[in-house]
Chain A
Amino acid sequence: MSKQSKYQADEKGMYGRFGGAYIPEMLYPNIENLKKVYKEIIDSPAFQQEYKALLKDYVGRPSPLYLAKRLSDKYQTNVYLKREDLNHTGAHKINNTVGQILIAKHMGKQRIIAETGAGQHGVATATACALMGLQCVVYMGEVDIKRQAPNVARMKMLGAEVKAATSGSKTLKDATNEALRDWICNPEDTFYLIGSVVGPHPYPDMVARLQAVISEEIKLQISEKTSKDYPDYVIACVGGGSNAAGSFYHFLDDEKVKLVAVEASGMGVDSGETAATIALGDMGIIHGSKTFLMQSEDGQITEPYSISAGLDYPGIGPQHAHLFDTGRAQFLSATDKEALDAALQLTQLEGIIPALESAHALAALNKMQFQKDEAVVITLSGRGDKDMATYMERFGF
């Protein structure tokens, strides 16, 4: 991957007009320090060796690229599923947490903090902390703690302390605020392990690099399975955008590969009950990054809505804002209903129950036209176990 790619962050962490580090001075030394060391650590042989070994033996990588035959027949093309749902803890989130935990260890940090919405990133962080024997504090909105009891229990069983964010709307954005406040108060011993390609530079770039293994594998696997060494499409869902960033990473400069990101539009883009950040297209600053976000006329950040807790974030990673700006990626959105239908369809055609987040990516199949000989890769970011309560309620099983 060329370092000069116009789709990657520059020295200041800008992706075109997005990104940067809009943080109060209290966080400046921490962010500067991380900025100085993260690339060096990630590129070091010691890190790479340890990281690769964990991805292989602990996470269970490479994750398969599976040709979904019955789904392909239905859409008259070749649909490949990148099976991140088969990872340990059930989603792509673990790729990032094992990577960041190693960075934290290299930096000599003793205490890990994280934010979580549905609890997937919290579980992946608590898992990595248990593995490394590090103290773990996960901030979670009070409302989400009530909605996601099984994941709260998992985190506790893994030894993490789950702290309720009781400010604002008591959901993901407030959990993120609480984590940032914790970091302000504990600047020296604590590492903030962010769960997506959001936050101040260098987080978006660091998390994208740690998820880039997804596209690295797709590239290899597609050339093993087809006569071409690239897919025609890569489709992924976007909350903050980490599974999409990882799925796109090694294809960004290969313009033959069409990149498609799918946001959650909840009850519909114009319903007021949505998380389709790009579709609404308002620029501003959220959690230290300049990007598109959902806000009021007065610049107050508003609450998103989606049936899928993992896509329920009022911003989007700055790289995605730039991919939209430059037209490099196409942005679609899927409603709750479209995602539910896509989840049921995948389950009954292929015997795979997807996470609700991933179901949004699958819903794109109904919104696009493909050729018979094209290779369409969809990243199945996670498995549906955590969403069974919603499926039971919606489908009446």
Chain B
Amino acid sequence: MNRLKKLFESQENICSVYYTAGYPTVNDTMPVLEALQEGGADLVEIGMPFSDPLADGPTIQASSEQALDNGMSIQLLFEQLETMRESITIPVVLMGYFNPVFKFGVEKFIGKCQEIGVDGVIIPDLPFDEYRELYENLFNEAGIANIFLITPQTSDERIRLIDAHSTGFIYVVSSASVTGAKQNVQQNQIDYFNRVNSLGLQRPRLIGFGIGNRDTFATACQHAAGAIIGSAFVKLLGEHGADKQQIKAFINTIKN
């Protein structure tokens, strides 16, 4: 969590990248993470693949399916990331659906995150109320940030409540949509970002969903601490594999 805190205190235009663990081949998890850090990503979200990713579009669905076929699991992910802090200094967040985490055991999961130096967790289908009742203390004691999503349909009141219980950053879903890259940012999205910014929230925000090129990234950065690139990067991995040069070039075009 300190890594997240430091990042948001010290930097603007944060480039956060999502990718699916164990994709395109099972042992690509660490090489991709290292290449992202070298290439200049400021924050990384590693997706834990799930059989039924209901908030994801076709690209991340396909990567999840491939990763599961490759034998990816939470257990294996923790093994792959066991010694990541020997080389990785940027914040790392795990993102995935609740069922595999529930099956693994939430307490054990958070314990593992703490042990290997994961900074935060995003579980889109873990209900806010259940988190507060059952898990908030657990996360706080372990120093693991739980990152919530907000959408254009989320009320101001609920955004404030989410802000009050957030410890890392707030994930601003850019439109009513599943994941997947879009060509541009529309005016109604800008209005929504402005609405969120006018609330005087305590936590920084990253904008995600539909951000996948230099233009959308730059626009998002004008309205938040930075943005999250998912499907566009996963697509690149699908086409080129865990190729260091390609990954560096990708980050470079997004950021500069």
Q: Which residues of B contact A297 (CB under 8 A)?
A: 73, 103
17 A-B pairs (CB sep. < 8 Å): A12-B129, A21-B127, A22-B125, A22-B130, A25-B154, A25-B173, A29-B154, A30-B153, A168-B52, A168-B61, A174-B52, A187-B176, A287-B52, A298-B100, A299-B104, A300-B50, A301-B52
Q: Which residues of A contact B124 (CB under 8 A)?
A: 24-25
Q: Which residues of A contact B154 (CB under 8 A)?
A: 25, 28-29
Q: How many residues on the B side are at the interface (Cβ–Cβ under 8 A)? A: 42
| A286: Cβ under 8 A from any B Cβ | yes
| B177: Cβ under 8 A from any A Cβ | yes
B55 is contacted by which of A12, A30, A173, A184 (Cβ under 8 Å)?
A184
Q: Which residues of B contact A167 (CB under 8 A)?
A: 58, 61-62, 65
A20 is contacted by which of B55, B58, B127 (Cβ under 8 Å)?
B127
| A181: Cβ under 8 A from any B Cβ | yes
Q: How far is the CA of A188 from the CA of B177 in the complex (A)?
A: 12
Q: How far is the CA of A23 from the CA of B68 in the complex (A)?
A: 22
The answer to whether B50 touches A24, judged by C-beta atoms less than 8 angstroms apart, is no
A184 is contacted by which of B50, B62, B176 (Cβ under 8 Å)?
B176
Q: Which residues of B contact A288 (CB under 8 A)?
A: 125
Q: How many residues on the A side are at the interface (Cβ–Cβ under 8 A)? A: 35
B74 is contacted by which of A26, A30, A298 (Cβ under 8 Å)?
A298
| B151: Cβ under 8 A from any A Cβ | yes
B94-107 vs A, Cβ < 8 Å mask (1 yes, 0 no): 00011111111000
Q: How far is the CA of A30 from the CA of B151 in the complex (A)?
A: 12
The answer to whether B177 touches A184, judged by C-beta atoms less than 8 angstroms apart, is yes
Q: Contacts A25-B150, A25-B154 given; indicate if A286 touches B100 (C-beta within 8 A).
A: no
Q: Which residues of A contact B129 (CB under 8 A)?
A: 12
| B193: Cβ under 8 A from any A Cβ | no
Q: Pick the most buried of B65, B125, B149: most chain A CB atoms within 10 A of its CB.
A: B125
The answer to whether A286 touches B52, judged by C-beta atoms less than 8 angstroms apart, is yes
Q: Pick the most buried of B53, B62, B75, B99: most chain A CB atoms within 10 A of its CB.
A: B99
Q: Contacts A177-B54, A180-B54, A285-B125 given; indicate if A26 touches B176 (C-beta within 8 A).
A: yes
Residue in A closest to B75 when the chains form the complex, CB atoms = A298
| B190: Cβ under 8 A from any A Cβ | no
| B254: Cβ under 8 A from any A Cβ | no
| A284: Cβ under 8 A from any B Cβ | yes
| B155: Cβ under 8 A from any A Cβ | yes
B117-133 vs A, Cβ < 8 Å mask (1 yes, 0 no): 00000001111011000
Q: How far is the CA of A71 from the CA of B130 in the complex (A)?
A: 49
Query: Which residues 138-194 of B sit at the A interface, judged by CB distance below 8 A?
Result: 148-151, 153-155, 158, 173, 176-178
A262-305 vs B, Cβ < 8 Å mask (1 yes, 0 no): 00000000000000000000001111100000010111111000
CB distance from B247 to the nearest CB of A (A): 26
| B51: Cβ under 8 A from any A Cβ | yes
The answer to whether B149 touches A26, judged by C-beta atoms less than 8 angstroms apart, is yes
| A68: Cβ under 8 A from any B Cβ | no
| A186: Cβ under 8 A from any B Cβ | yes
Residue in B closest to A178 when the chains form the complex, CB atoms = B54
Q: How far is the CA of A279 from the CA of B102 in the complex (A)?
A: 20
| A220: Cβ under 8 A from any B Cβ | no
Q: Contacts A25-B173, A26-B151, A167-B65 given; indicate if A298 touches B103 (C-beta within 8 A).
A: yes
Q: Which residues of B contact A285 (CB under 8 A)?
A: 97-99, 102, 125
Q: How far is the CA of A300 from the CA of B155 in the complex (A)?
A: 33
Query: Which residues 342-395 of A sit at the B interface, judged by CB distance below 8 A?
Result: none
Q: How far is the CA of A24 from the CA of B151 in the complex (A)?
A: 10
A-B interface, 7 closest residue pairs, ranked by CB to CB distance from nearest: A299-B103, A299-B100, A24-B124, A298-B73, A25-B149, A300-B51, A29-B153
| A157: Cβ under 8 A from any B Cβ | no
| A185: Cβ under 8 A from any B Cβ | yes
Give me 13 other A-B pairs in contact (C-beta within 8 A), A22-B127, A298-B73 excluded: A20-B127, A22-B126, A25-B149, A28-B154, A29-B153, A167-B62, A181-B56, A186-B176, A297-B103, A298-B74, A300-B50, A300-B100, A301-B51
CB distance from A246 to the nearest CB of B (A): 27
CB distance from B126 to the nearest CB of A (A): 7
Q: Pick the most buried of B61, B74, B148, B155: most chain A CB atoms within 10 A of its CB.
A: B61
Q: Which residues of B contact A184 (CB under 8 A)?
A: 54-55, 176-178
